[in-house]
């Protein structure tokens, strides 16, 4: 780590309820080494419960910039774009989900150091899951131990996985984001990270998976929630025209086989019992979403 100069960053973290972990996340920002956080921006989706007032109190106590919206006006793409363009000013913006936990004091530095040096314009962190669930194996497959770069020439080989990223913890070059018109007008509720990955790669820029920037990101989805999540992904893939020519087949099948293999190796009975309905929820969700998305075009 370069101890002589701090890398200046802004942080954008959309917030909706679940205030009980939010203050701990904000406090963890203050322990990050190698970076100087100029501002933190909370786009707040209102729940009209007491949670809103708790979040407002956190905003006030930690001198956080915020703006509020109704739930029906939240957009995974355009809400982030508004925060990045209208409220941030640093060259580098870190995007977070409110349910992540930073694993050490160098997460932000390891995430942004290549953007600061000019090698890449969009990076994302390694996610680990500490729940005893299928997600633990999914994270292990999608977030390996070694970092790597992706550029336009890799698309033919990697297909849709060339665009895999996650704004649960990512960082971008704000100047390039503005130059490329952000998410290019797409108002989407899922996969804005994959969309922006494709935009930057098609324009000749690089992105990086940063295995040394580690966050915990654990979910416990019901089968209904999982179906809905993949339904939204299917709608996204069919409606965003720039993905029309990208081959997406195979990635889900490979993931399902990987999870099954890992569960068998570890004799993980709970995961084996969940495996078939879990993977079926993903498969039928994305299939239905694509069909509905095409009809809505």
Q: Which pLDDT does position 50 carry in this prediction?
A: 95
Task: Give the residue among 169, 177, 163 at the shortest CA–CA distance from 237.
Answer: 163
pLDDT (average), residues 101-128: 95
pLDDT (average), residues 29-34: 96
Q: Which pLDDT does position 3 carry in this prediction?
A: 52
Stretch (H or E) spanning 192: helix 192-202
Q: Which pLDDT does position 240 carry in this prediction?
A: 72
Q: Which pLDDT does position 64 carry in this prediction?
A: 97
- Whether residue 220 is predicted with pLDDT greater than 90 in this model: the reply is no
- Whether residue 216 is predicted with pLDDT greater than 70 in this model: the reply is yes
- Whether residue 248 is predicted with pLDDT greater than 60 in this model: the reply is no
This prediction's pTM: 0.91
Domain boundaries, the chain: 7-216, 223-296
Say how far apart CA 264 and CA 271 lie, in whole Å: 9
Fold of 7-216: Spore Coat Polysaccharide Biosynthesis Protein SpsA; Chain A (3.90.550)
DSSP state of 204: T
Least-confidence region, from 31-40, 129-138, 172-181: 129-138
> Which ranges in the chain belong to alpha helices (H)?
22-29, 50-61, 78-82, 107-117, 134-142, 155-158, 174-179, 192-202, 223-239, 251-265, 269-296
Q: Considering the chain, what is the average pLDDT of its residues?
A: 91
Say how far apart CA 263 and CA 134 lie, in whole Å: 9
- Whether residue 228 is predicted with pLDDT greater than 60 in this model: the reply is yes
């Amino acid at each position: 780590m370069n101890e002589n100069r701090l890398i200046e960053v802004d942080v954008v973290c959309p917030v909706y309820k679940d205030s009980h972990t939010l203050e701990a996340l904000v406090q963890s920002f203050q322990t990050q080494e190698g970076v100087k956080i100029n501002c933190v921006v909370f786009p707040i989706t209102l729940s009209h419960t007491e949670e809103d007032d708790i979040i407002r109190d956190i905003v006030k106590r930690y001198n956080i910039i915020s703006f509020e919206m109704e739930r029906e006006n939240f957009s995974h793409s355009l809400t982030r774009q508004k925060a990045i363009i209208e409220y941030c000013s640093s060259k580098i913006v870190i995007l977070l989900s409110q349910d992540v936990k930073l694993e050490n004091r160098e997460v932000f530095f390891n995430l942004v150091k290549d953007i600061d040096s000019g090698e890449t314009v969009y990076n994302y962190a390694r996610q680990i899951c500490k729940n005893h669930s299928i997600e633990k194996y999914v994270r292990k497959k999608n977030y390996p131990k070694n970092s790597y770069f992706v550029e336009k020439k890799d698309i033919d080989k990697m297909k849709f996985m060339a665009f895999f990223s996650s704004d649960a913890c990512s960082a971008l070059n704000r100047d390039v984001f503005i130059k490329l018109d952000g998410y290019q007008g797409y108002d989407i509720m899922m996969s804005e990270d994959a969309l922006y990955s494709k935009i930057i790669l098609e324009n000749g820029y690089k992105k990086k998976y940063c295995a040394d920037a580690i966050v915990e990101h654990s979910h416990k989805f019901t089968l209904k929630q999982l179906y809905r999540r993949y339904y939204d992904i299917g709608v996204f893939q069919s409606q965003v025209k720039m993905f029309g020519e990208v081959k997406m087949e195979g990635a889900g099948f490979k993931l399902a086989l990987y999870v099954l293999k890992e569960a068998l190796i570890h004799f993980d009975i709970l995961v084996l019992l969940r495996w078939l309905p879990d993977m079926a929820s993903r498969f039928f969700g994305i299939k239905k979403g694509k069909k509905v998305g095409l009809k809505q075009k």
